[in-house]
């Protein structure tokens, strides 16, 4: 209950955060209804089937965004691709946030050599360039599924979340009210759950948004080099197709402009959530100091 009120209060306090969340919610809705939308575009047929229509049709009332080199409806492709991109963000975001939070709490709360070992390990993972590793993983892992790619991406994105949250745990740990809870014989888990977590929510949110952002872009990047998971179409793959089939020279602009605009909107929304949260826990950033 306290968690819920903390969340609601946070959202109400920041217009930027609210804007970002609203855009995200709209996109999630669009993704949730994507099967329905795709179905209605196809009028009973599958608009994403190969040779469903003629290839390279220009945008018209029948096909709002035209068709691609295989005669697939671009609008239907983009809508379903967006849900794939959101899924990967959610998968990787959840995994890396959970791992990051656990590591950060253990390190920050226990301190001592445990903290030393965990922090050093986090530091090591942070400096290894992730993209080459990701390319290598996906190029040779046979028939990777979307979920597996999500797990791979989270392997490299939890250290960032862990680092952000750990520094906060350290500063919160020494606050008087935590000492008070400790003196009153509250258990470690109880202190973490009731005293620390509510105050750390913004940071956990930042960790989640950053990981999701990184994962979505990671998948786009893999697709652009032509190394994405098989059997699913995400926004990156549409862009990759557009580059490789010469859509740029054919003037089939919707094929790469629309995915890019959607992804940009998604990145913008996640970033607004990030900045909004930062402004919530650091009110001085709102630029009202001394006004």
Partner 1 sequence: MTATAPPAEAVEASAESAPRSGLRPWLSRHPLAAYALRRFGLYLIELWGALTVAFFFFRMIPGDPIQTLIQTLQQNYVYNQQASAEVIARYQHEFGLDGNIFTQYLKYMNNLILHGDLGPSLINYPTPAQNVILHSLPWTIGLLGISAVLAWVLGIIVGAVAGWRRGKAGSAIITNLSIALSHVPFFFVALILVYVFAYSLGMLPARSAYDSNISPGLSPAFIGSVLKYGLLPGLSIVVIGAFGWILSTRMLMVPVLGEDYLTYAEAKGLKPWRILTRYALRNCYLPQVTAFGISLGFIFNGNVLVEQLFNYPGLGTTLVTAIQQLDFNTILGVTDMAIFSVLTAVLLLDLLLPLLDPRVKYWK
Which helix (H) or strand (E) covers residue 131, if one does? helix 130-140
Residue in 258, 228, 224, 253 with CA at minimum distance from that of residue 241: 224
Q: Decide whether 3 or 250 has the Cβ nearer to partner 1.
A: 250
Tell me if 132 contacts partner 1 by CB under 8 A: yes
Q: Using only the alpha carbons of the chain, give its radius of gyration.
A: 22
Tell me if 164 contacts partner 1 by CB under 8 A: no
**Cβ 261 vs Cβ 272: under 8 Å:** no
Least gap, CB of 40 to partner 1 (angstroms): 29
Token pair 């607004």 is found at: 272
Q: Stretches 64-72, 74-82, 135-143, 144-152: which one binds partner 1 (CB under 8 A)?
A: 135-143
24: tokens are 């995200």
Q: How far apart are the C-alpha atoms of 166 and 284, rounded to whole Å?
A: 22
Q: How far apart are the C-alpha atoms of 284 and 184, rounded to whole Å?
A: 34
**Cβ 283 vs Cβ 262: under 8 Å:** no
**Cβ 24 vs Cβ 76: under 8 Å:** no
89: tokens are 């963000």
Q: Which distant-in-sequence residues (6+ apart) come within 8 Å of 136 by Cβ?
A: none
Q: Stretches 61-69, 112-120, 157-165, 200-208: which one binds partner 1 (CB under 8 A)?
A: 112-120
Tell me if 176 contacts partner 1 by CB under 8 A: no
Name which position in 18, 151, 275, 281 contacts partner 1 (CB under 8 A): 275
Least gap, CB of 29 to partner 1 (angstroms): 20
Name which position in 166, 217, 228, 233 contacts partner 1 (CB under 8 A): 217
Least gap, CB of 209 to partner 1 (angstroms): 10
Per CB under 8 A, which of residues 221..240 are in contact with partner 1? 221, 224-225, 239
Tell me if 284 contacts partner 1 by CB under 8 A: yes
Tell me if 135 contacts partner 1 by CB under 8 A: yes
CA 65 to the chain's CA centroid: 26
Q: Decide whether 24 or 220 has the Cβ nearer to partner 1.
A: 220
Binding site for partner 1 (CB under 8 A): 16, 109-113, 115-117, 120-121, 123-125, 127-129, 131-133, 135-137, 139-140, 174, 182, 185-189, 213, 217, 220-221, 224-225, 239, 243, 248-249, 253, 256-257, 260, 263-264, 267-268, 270-272, 275, 278, 282, 284-287, 289-291
């Amino acid at each position: 209950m306290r968690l819920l009120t903390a969340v609601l209060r946070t959202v109400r306090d920041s217009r930027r955060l609210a804007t970002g969340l609203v855009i995200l919610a709209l996109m999630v809705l669009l993704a949730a209804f994507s099967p329905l939308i795709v179905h209605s575009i196809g009028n009973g047929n599958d608009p994403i089937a190969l040779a469903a229509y003629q290839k390279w049709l220009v945008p018209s009332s029948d096909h709002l965004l035209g068709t691609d080199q295989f005669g697939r409806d671009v609008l239907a492709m983009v809508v379903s691709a967006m849900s794939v991109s959101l899924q990967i963000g959610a998968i990787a975001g959840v995994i890396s946030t959970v791992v990051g939070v656990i590591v950060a709490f253990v390190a920050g709360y226990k301190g001592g050599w445990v903290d030393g070992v965990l922090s050093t390990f986090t530091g090591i993972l942070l400096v290894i360039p992730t993209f080459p590793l990701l390319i290598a993983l996906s190029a040779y892992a046979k028939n990777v599924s979307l979920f597996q790619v999500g797990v791979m991406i989270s392997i490299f994105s939890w250290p960032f979340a862990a680092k952000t949250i750990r520094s906060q745990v350290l500063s919160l740990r020494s606050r008087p009210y935590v000492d008070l809870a400790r003196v009153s014989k509250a258990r470690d888990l109880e202190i973490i759950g009731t005293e620390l977590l509510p105050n750390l929510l913004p940071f956990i949110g930042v960790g989640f948004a950053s990981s999701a952002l990184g994962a979505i872009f990671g998948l786009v990047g893999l697709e652009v080099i032509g190394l994405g998971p098989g059997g699913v179409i995400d926004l990156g793959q549409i862009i990759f197709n557009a580059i490789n089939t010469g859509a740029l020279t054919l003037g089939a602009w919707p094929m790469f402009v629309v995915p890019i605009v959607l992804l940009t909107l998604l990145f913008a929304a996640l970033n607004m959530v990030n900045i909004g949260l930062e402004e919530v826990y650091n009110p001085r950033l709102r630029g009202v100091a001394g006004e």
